[in-house]
Amino acid sequence: MLAQLLLGNGVRLKHSNTLLGLRQYFPPQTGLKFRSAVRGSEFGQRKFSSAGLRLTRLSPPDNSRSYAIISQPRTKLTRLLEPRFFSANSAQFAAPSPPLPVLSPPSVGRWLLFSSALVFAVIVVGGVTRLTESGLSITEWRPITGILPPLSNAEWNQEFEKYKTTPEFKLLNHSITLDQFKSIFYMEWAHRILGRVIGVAFIVPLVYFSLRKKLTPSLPAKLTGMALLIGVQGLIGWYMVKSGLEESLMDDPTAVPRVSQYRLAAHLGTAFVLYIEMLGTGLLALRDWQFAKGGKWSGVTRWQDVVGHPRVRMFTRLSWGLTGLVFLTALSGAFVAGLDAGLLYNEFPLMGGRLAPPSDELFSAAYAKSPDQSDLWWRNMLENPTTTQFDHRILAVTTYFSTGLLYMQTFRPSLRAVLPPLTRAAATAAFAMVNVQVLLGISTLLYLVPVPIAAAHQAGSVVLLSTMVYLLTTLRRPGMAARAWREAAQKGEALRR
Ligand code: HEM
């Protein structure tokens, strides 16, 4: 009876005695054999494999050393054993519930949060690299041999000579000394090294957790996608740098030696996507674990009452929309940065004494490339510094007021009554952060893009995005594995009573 219960329901076994007891339910004449004697609580999957049972070590929410039978292969023998064997309860146990899915332990969540922190760091270092105009100092893409910086004077001179062939040196930095070159080189080198560290710090644990079967079923594909994205990010980074090294820049007398704003935006956008994915997945893994352990969900006892509520659903949709808007504003910022558009119209809220620059400046024919000017709009929006700055302002102000509106929503009594406390806290954090971010943006503009303020502004956009990601995770229902675990734990609790 006990064994059937366990087999049928995947209930956790806490004591070695229970497992020892299992042997008695499968006496030798049933044909089931336990390969080795069971000692103390040192059970392992292999010891029971020959019995036709798959026994697995669980990572139970309460951290106790527990084991469960996760499946019983339906052989002729086990079928024979099924209802007839336990006829008294056959109706109750005729249909065994599916095996419990793997639930990622907190170490998986912590690793993902650590990875997101590394991505945050690389975004900040990348911003400083761009702001200090260091990004074009390494003229080659050598993923393996580039790990070491030049070590001897001869090697430094060799690197310097390569830099001297670039448009940036010829047009901007022709009086740079070797020592100055070394400092910009080290900045770009640190950025690239951090990128490699992220790759290793992500992929090694990913392989480990996969081999140890510690990943919730939805995770392997998602995490593999992230690992690939890290590689793609490295390629985009090099593709971006290449655009600033092209010799053709020298042919255009008006050209400035800088990278393509499109590639810069792609590089920054991919970094944001990686960061959001790592942070969101890590937070959800930790929250799922807590929930499975019997903890509250976003500070409330029943998630079903919240997630299904029409007002909350509307609030969730608005939050997704706002997160998209923050993302778009940040991307438009990359265009401002890529075109050095922060060096124009250094006043706020006006631009040249008016709310908007004249339309012939915003949509100047000089930027259209097709003969019928069908590209006038989008080219101005993405290539004209005045227009990109104007767009960034519009998006930023819209983001600001939208975040304020979302925050105010949390005070509406009908919504406040159902909204989890953690969601309200996240909305407050988002509103606080958007204030800081707008102040940093305005200061960046008024002070003509000083490195510390502009870098803080870039970091601020990541913090703002983080508050929104956190907010969204507070509204996500617990994962399938966590729900299954919690249910099993509750059933187990009921059985023990
Ligand atoms: C929600 C608000 C905002 C967000 C999320 C945001 C985001 C960003 C991002 C991600 C960048 C790119 C930084 C880089 O690649 O180095 C940027 C650049 C910039 N932003 Fe904002 N921004 C916001 C508000 C503002 C405001 C209100 C202003 C002022 C009008 C502003 C002015 C600038 C300027 C001048 C740059 C170029 C700085 C540079 O060259 O490095 N931003 N913004």
What does the pLDDT look like over 346-403, one tens digit per residue?
Answer: 999 999 999 999 999 999 999 999 999 999 999 999 999 999 999 999 999 999 999 9
C-alpha distances (whole Å) from 445 to each of 177, 265, 332 are 30, 19, 15
Per-residue confidence (pLDDT) for residue 56, from 0 to 100: 44
Nearest to 14 by CA among 491, 494, 488, 492: 492
Quote the pTM value: 0.82
- 222 Cα to the center of ligand 1, angstroms: 30
Nearest CA to ligand 1 atom 39: 337
Q: Please give the distance, rounded to the nearest whole angstrom, from the Cα atom of residue 378 to the centre of ligand 1.
A: 20
Nearest CA to ligand 1 atom 13: 458
Phi and psi at residue 132, in whole multiples of 5°? -90, 10
| 35 CA → ligand 1 middle, Å | 66
Low-confidence ranges of the chain (pLDDT < 70): 1-98
Look at ligand 1, atom 10, and give the residue with the nearest C-alpha: 330
Opening angle at CA 232, ends 228 and 237, nearest 5: 150
Ligand 1 centroid–CA 249 distance in Å is 26
Instruction: In whole angstroms, give the CA distance from residue 398 to residue 394.
Output: 6
Ligand 1, pocket-test mutation among 336, 390, 393, 467, most atoms within 8 A of CB: 336
Q: Whose CA is nearest to atom 28 of ligand 1?
A: 441
Determine whether the shortest distance from the Cβ of 444 to ligand 1 is under 6 A. Answer: yes
CA distance 261 to 382: 8
Q: How far is CA 8 from CA 72, 82, 155, 443, 482, in A?
A: 9, 10, 68, 64, 19
Q: Which of 130, 386, 164 is nearest to 258 (CA)?
A: 130
- The residue nearest atom 41 of ligand 1, judged by CA position, is 337
Cα 53 to ligand 1 centroid, rounded to whole Å? 59
Task: Fill in the amino acid letter for 162.
Answer: K
- Cβ-in-10-Å burial (0-12, 13-18, 19+) of 151 comes to exposed
